[in-house]
A and B are shown apart, each in its own frame.
Chain A
Amino acid sequence: MKQILLITDGCSNVGVSPVVAAAQAHAEGIAVNVVGVLDQGDLGEFGSAEIEEIARAGGGLSRLAHTRQLSQTVQMLTRKTVVQTIQHAVHRELKQVLGASSIEELPPEKRGEVVRVMDELSETSKLRVALLIDASASMKPKLAAVEEAIRDLALSLQARQGRSEIAVFHFPGSAHGDECLLDLDWTTDVRGVHQFLPRLQMRGTTPTGPAILRVVDHFRAPAPRSYRNPDETDGQMSDYVV
């Protein structure tokens, strides 16, 4: 399972639309979740409408969160999206195998069996989450909270039985016109990492769309041997569900 988790506090203002970019990610089997992070006040109507639309296009979920609840929100979105991805796959199977179009239609005993399989898959399937952090000037005071949320997520993912990896990107990248930079490549453990994100003053642009596409690219890159076939559990679904 593949997810992008975008953490931002404003609107994109350069390059391809982030909604289009998220749709592309979704088409490649990557769910896009978005957290709009607030310090005081709110994102403004335009900002919250945008994060909602990015998540909708990306087949993921969006939430607004205060810096204090950032860790919990990040965890909750990641977990819910894992369950949702599995649910979608299970729904396909349900139609074929049981002739039911939703879990709710099944009688309670059958439902119990299906949910048991879903829980098992949520716990054991491989998962990769790319965190994409908006590091534009307005985000600067929130970056400490963002880093804490990343650590906290890594801790939860580590406890899963399935292999779970995270990668961290931030945007805008350097002054050389990079839309997005990789801070931390796929890893299962972040304990040794001192600081994920640079504390430099960033340029004023927010190239959210191009940054999402860059991360999608990274998912495409050939993975080291051990990561081949990250979706293998999808293929085995019919063995589980009946």
Chain B
Amino acid sequence: MTTSFDWRLPRGTVIRGKWKRSSYRVERLLGEGANGKVYLVERQRAWYAMKIGADAVDLQSEINVLQAIANAKLVSRSEPYLVEVDDYSGTDGKEYPFYVMRYIRGATLSDFLSKRGMEWFPVAGYSLLVKLSELHAGRWTFGDLKAENVLVSDYGRVELVDYGGVTAFGKSVRQFTEIYDRGYWNAGSRSADAGYDLFSFGVLCIQVYDARRLAALAGSLLPQNRSPEELLKLAQSIPALRPLGDWLAKALRGTFSNVEEAAREWQQWQRRTSGRSSSVVPRWMKGLFVASAALLATTIYWLLRTGA
């Protein structure tokens, strides 16, 4: 689906809020989706992300969720995520609602992993589970969990973006993406609960290792034959995921009782995998060693030369 307004704000445009009169300068478009466009903006030398929507009601429900999360003080963080809410009068004479949030410098999970290597996946995954547990503590399900909505900054630190799918436990999930959806895989309801996010997380694990075969599997199965077992079979055929098999089975079959339990078992898997390679010098350390040996050699060479 595309947004129902197709203009794009050029760089340098100044956006002044109708109610609070703050000004923001547009730097560039960060992304767009079903509910609006997200721009990188600047105000008093600080960067923010600004989401401009076409539909006041849709955007407002997202804002309501962000405000509820902020009020519940679930997230132990000094900077707030939601910064300001206001309206902007477009050059077309219409008014567009917007909200300003913290700018998250990072790459989407898939981009991050393909650039930095899959060895970052366990850390990023753990960090994502922690993020989910903060939300779940307030009895919210993230809903539309997928690789594009997970931004990763340095050292595998994870932030979720796109709160359009966030749903209170017990209500119907407001927004989802088929391939990550528990209902689509005949694995349960579309009611918001902890298991809903964990199911999507399970699919996400397969997605980051083999997106192509996951898409092929979804496309080849008859609707009534889609099942968590099919996903597990696919996961078993990916060598790197095999040690995670038990964890994935619990996530996809919905047998974890909450995210904390899932996070604990994830840590156990991390410990097992990191332990396995500890007998040999890891690749990065070897690299470091070669580099420092070379440095040492050059240093000695220069010392000898200048000393002579």
Q: Which residues of A contact B (CB under 8 A)?
A: 71-72, 76, 83, 87, 103-104, 107-108, 111-112, 115-116, 118-119, 123, 148, 151-152, 155-156, 158-161
Contact = CB atoms under 8 A, between A and B. Distances in A.
Interface in B166-198: 170-173, 178, 183-184, 189-191
Given A103-B57, A112-B67, A161 B223 contact: no
Contacts of A159: 171-173, 183, 189-191
Contacts of B63: 108, 112
28 contacts: A71-B178, A76-B1, A103-B56, A104-B56, A104-B87, A104-B95, A104-B97, A107-B19, A108-B60, A108-B97, A111-B60, A112-B60, A112-B64, A116-B61, A116-B64, A118-B61, A123-B171, A148-B223, A155-B183, A155-B190, A156-B183, A156-B190, A159-B171, A159-B172, A159-B173, A159-B183, A160-B171, A161-B172
Interface of B: 1, 19, 56-57, 60-61, 63-64, 67, 85-87, 95, 97, 170-173, 178, 183-184, 189-191, 223
Which residue among B19, B56, B183, B191 has the maximum number of chain A CB atoms within 10 Å of its CB?
Answer: B56
Contacts of B184: 152
Contacts of A118: 57, 61
Interface of A is mostly: helix
Interface of B is mostly: mixed
Given A112-B64, A156-B190, 16 more contacts: A83-B57, A104-B87, A104-B95, A108-B85, A108-B86, A108-B97, A116-B61, A151-B223, A152-B183, A152-B184, A155-B189, A158-B190, A159-B173, A159-B189, A160-B171, A161-B170
A151 B189 CA distance: 12
Contacts of A76: 1
